[in-house]
Structure 1
């Protein structure tokens, strides 16, 4: 046992597990009970209870806990005094190895401990997480949803229960059906004190079920709540111990619900009481889960950076949710943007998410209400099938930082594609007509039904180019170029575009045209071969040497230059070949 001064001046002793117990009572690594329970020791720092809520939630679901606490570790079989834990960090699971020394004061563990005096998995897990974050003191500054993310790899959202939908049972059932973890808390009183009806203030409870119960007075919706680290019970209506409401429920129905008349930390309460006596709800959306017979959320990730301009992502929704009771055909989604390494860099950006359908209207159709300096910002909602633009943004201009964007959808139908990264100087001369003129050209060249086919696009682009600073380059525009452009934006596979789809394509063409003008240094209406990689990067495409060799062979003229129509065709082809991670264009045998 070693002693040192630390943790706000306390004299701390480091307690070695092995060798501190008699042989007939060896320390236990994993669970001594089917249901694990953890609690804060008397001398614990109250700020650490945010971590406790995450660990307690994991302890209810062994599959999740075993991802963080790898099994087959013990104090025998070649034990070397160390343990390994895993935590999710920015898209991947990282291992953290620690020794078996634990901080104590007066022979008591300072932070987390187990009711079983020789069970130490929670204390060791806490130490590993402290090492990941930079020390025990760093744990004082956390948020509960951060720990849930780090220990599940899911996307976590904090909701005010008062603002949840009126049909709360259906809302909760949908979350549980997708395997979500739900924690709830009442933060209106002092830490660890009990409400007169038994709810402990500032402690996380787990919501594990929503049931429609038959009573002699009709049906009633109840929620099942679990206090993972204590035995305190709800003492209001529908109390397991003395609630007279259970007299209206048949014994068979009570057995179906698994009602147990004892103080075990698990209880039922009405939905109305849940609204009244709990304030916050933390929902963790999982991308893999054995908790549900329904396939959980499908997740697409993108690692990127904020530069001088906020990046933009093409977001395509095609398959509607499977909701037999839903009258509207919509696609559910959860977006999450996470700042990477912000504490390590000592920088906290204020960030938010915006979804646009038409960038020219300058008004998002979905967005966060305000910017937040939290590590991760979440935006949940539903949208009709269609094409959208996601913009993760910072509150101030010209800020730089790395981020992780995650897009969760029920049907796995999202196509995420980076379409811009760099802020470019705006060309002083117009190369293409304004939107009003383009709409007139669309009516002029497209068929009476309002659809644009490849030949229509060829005629439209030819006339549009002839009226701008790139006049003359239309001679390089081939029908093959227009066929490919139409196929890129055609979501129905019918080789024609309606007006909204054409608008999306036109926004791309305008963006690519501006890039072309910026990098056409000598104003020849052609890009030199060495200018092409920089232009592609400005379009959000990083091409390696092999890609550039293929560009030289396939997309250049005889003088190794790329014409304006050829550049549009090139960017479109490369953009359609980028893998879902959107980070770097590469050729491989894997399907993207």
Structure 2
């Protein structure tokens, strides 16, 4: 996929992108953020107009780190820091061999790639960058002559429609967009909320729970990407209260103390503002260093660069609200588990859609949950598996959709739906959907969360697994992508079945069963009841069980669909026979059918709804004339009565990291 700009050459034959022009339409979407005050003050300059000898990436890696400007996109910059130490990922985002400013082939254009909804999308921009007083007003590198961050930020802004749309976001989303991999956000403050609900649990117990979560990834700290965010900027201005700000975890290590056998776990944090904002025990003159060997203390202090600071794990857990973990990706493009370090080389993905009135079944609290889209995951061997559910976002509709929403709330409602993913282990040859859904899932994302993507993790045995993605709200429409990463051989497929509209009811649940069959000339194409060969037609048995409460109305809906083009249609219909006690359900009884869908019609599918008493039945589909060859599917929907599973799911919260413009101005 490509998202190229319309080319137009300006002075000197340099490319000018007409699809992302140098005016306010590229800067602002609704002027709802503090950068709206820049209107009328921004000029657009190429790198060679800003400095004498521009470069893309500096030789000194320490000078390549991104530094935040007047735009609140700390979440994006934390993800960009990951590219610095992963050259193979940087080259994926910025393809090599592009002419730079010193090259005689330079024409003022650059191409970047971002992973979007399952595919890599190319975005071409010109290198005219927004400036105030001849200096970059948004993100830049520590080295003033390096422009990789500013150009990448512009391409990402074009992908989203404007710079202003980068004002708030999630680190996990940017990590996925830059790698095509996975990222998870762990909300540390959830433990604190449990303390509020359970007064008997102490703060020490809460910190222990948080530490246990962090211990899961400690062995992978050198290869995975870590960031953290806080709602209250310690050492910052009071105007940052209730605003999230994201930072990068640069280093995380255990250090021995001089006194006692216990050590201390230290984390080196980088603030994208480019300045430290912490005054704890591990500042340059803090008391914490006295507990370490002097030479080791000096070594650790020497590692601190501009905008960085050390703190210990206790301080970290008390100050930060959540951590985001990006899964490592090796040079072969394989994902690596943050839990075990295992490579997950087997990868599959399939698109899906929740359609209102058809497949928007809502959460497990709803009786229509079973109508949600369904997928089969087959594991050939035991292995570690990650399954993600990613919903698509349509940025072009955001402004119109929230036209009456106060501007300050627009960015907090980027995620249209709270989503979740549940998994059941099943025996496919004896699969019954209703009985399966009555059982607890073998794995799930635990709650519906307002996230673009949720991730399910587990160790799975060989066999078949049913995956059901859902939204919390019934009737919520969206496109989505299911992705599977596994350490052993696996296969992902959609449950292939027609999608007839299920009966509308509020006093029960409907169980759907699907039969595949064929009419074969001279064998099973018996034709209608007008012919003696009708007995040859295929038979499909089903049962209506005794209902605990007598009901009135439709309890069975049958749809017969033939698999052919409109030009090759046969006239089709079907009969339903009651099977007498003691007789086999594979033969057509001599009695007349209890109900029929006739006359036979030249159509793709025919449907009939009826009310049947308890007992055994067979469906007999047929063409009007004998010996008409074709394939067909029968969809059988039966109303059942069971207690709806109450999952007591809790809605997650959307994590947004935003920064106030006032504290970023130097």
> Where do residues 197-216 of structure 1 align in structure 2 (5 Å cutoff)?
202-206=245-249, 208-211=251-254, 213=256, 216=259
Offset at 1:267? 5.7
Asked if 1 retains the 8 angstrom alpha-carbon contact of 2:75 and 2:170, the reply is: yes
TM-score, length-scaled by structure 1: 0.62
The one-character-per-residue Cα deviations of 1:304-325 (angstroms, maximum 9, x if unpaired) are 222312211122446456xxxx
Asked if 2 retains the 8 angstrom alpha-carbon contact of 1:30 and 1:121, the reply is: yes
Whether 2:103 is the aligned partner of 1:110: answer no
> Where do residues 121-132 of structure 1 align in structure 2 (5 Å cutoff)?
121-132=148-159
The one-character-per-residue Cα deviations of 1:130-184 (angstroms, maximum 9, x if unpaired) are 111111122235333222211121222211125466534530225437x432211
Partner residue of 1:424? 500
Partner residue of 2:75? 50
Deviation larger for 515-524 or 77-86? 515-524
Whether 2:354 is the aligned partner of 1:339: answer no
Let me know the Cα RMSD of the aligned residues: 4.5
Whether 2:398 is the aligned partner of 1:356: answer no
Partner residue of 2:629? 560
Question: Residues 270, 110 of structure 1: CA spacing in aligned structure 2 closer, same or farther, 3 A cutoff?
Answer: closer
SS of 2:40's equivalent in the other structure is strand
Q: Partners of 1:115 and 1:314 in 2: how far apart?
A: 49
Whether 2:216 is the aligned partner of 1:171: answer yes
Partner residue of 1:545? none
> Where do residues 483-494 of structure 1 align in structure 2 (5 Å cutoff)?
none
The one-character-per-residue Cα deviations of 1:508-541 (angstroms, maximum 9, x if unpaired) are xxxxxx99863375116999xx999989xxxxxx
Q: Partners of 2:453 and 2:538 in 1: how far apart?
A: 49
Q: Partners of 2:293 and 2:462 in 1: how far apart?
A: 44
Partner residue of 1:273? 315
Q: Partners of 2:488 and 2:262 in 1: how far apart?
A: 36
Asked if 1 retains the 8 angstrom alpha-carbon contact of 2:336 and 2:344, the reply is: no
Partner residue of 2:101? 75
**Aligned match for 1:146, one of 173, 181, 205:** 173
Whether 2:46 is the aligned partner of 1:17: answer yes
Asked if 2 retains the 8 angstrom alpha-carbon contact of 1:68 and 1:87, the reply is: yes
Q: Partners of 2:481 and 2:321 in 1: how far apart?
A: 30
Q: Partners of 2:469 and 2:226 in 1: how far apart?
A: 26
Deviation larger for 145-154 or 26-35? 26-35
> Where do residues 376-395 of structure 1 align in structure 2 (5 Å cutoff)?
376-382=453-459, 386-395=463-472
Question: Residues 517, 85 of structure 1: CA spacing in aligned structure 2 closer, same or farther, 3 A cutoff?
Answer: closer
Question: Residues 80, 398 of structure 1: CA spacing in aligned structure 2 closer, same or farther, 3 A cutoff?
Answer: same
Q: Partners of 1:54 and 1:243 in 2: how far apart?
A: 32
Question: Residues 79, 417 of structure 1: CA spacing in aligned structure 2 closer, same or farther, 3 A cutoff?
Answer: same
How many matched pairs? 444
Question: Residues 234, 192 of structure 1: CA spacing in aligned structure 2 closer, same or farther, 3 A cutoff?
Answer: closer
Partner residue of 1:63? 88
Q: Partners of 1:472 and 1:219 in 2: how far apart?
A: 83
Q: Partners of 2:165 and 2:450 in 1: how far apart?
A: 17
Larger RCO (CA under 8 A, 6+ residues apart): 2
**Aligned match for 1:217, one of 260, 273, 279:** 260
Offset at 1:424? 2.8
Partner residue of 2:123? 96
Q: Partners of 2:448 and 2:141 in 1: how far apart?
A: 39
Asked if 1 retains the 8 angstrom alpha-carbon contact of 2:382 and 2:459, the reply is: no
Partner residue of 2:352? 304
Offset at 1:122? 1.1
Q: Partners of 2:215 and 2:561 in 1: how far apart?
A: 55
Offset at 1:246? 5.9
Unaligned runs of 5+ in 2: 1-10, 12-20, 29-35, 192-208, 360-371, 402-415, 426-434, 504-510, 512-533, 541-555, 563-571, 577-587, 589-596, 607-625, 635-666
Asked if 1 retains the 8 angstrom alpha-carbon contact of 2:235 and 2:277, the reply is: no
The one-character-per-residue Cα deviations of 1:484-525 (angstroms, maximum 9, x if unpaired) are xxxxxxxxxxxxxxxxxxxxxxxxxxxxxx998633751169
Q: Higher helix proportion, which one?
A: 1
Deviation larger for 345-354 or 274-283? 345-354
Question: Residues 343, 356 of structure 1: CA spacing in aligned structure 2 closer, same or farther, 3 A cutoff?
Answer: farther
Q: Higher strand proportion, which one?
A: 2
SS of 2:573's equivalent in the other structure is coil
Asked if 2 retains the 8 angstrom alpha-carbon contact of 1:217 and 1:248, the reply is: no
TM-score, length-scaled by structure 2: 0.56
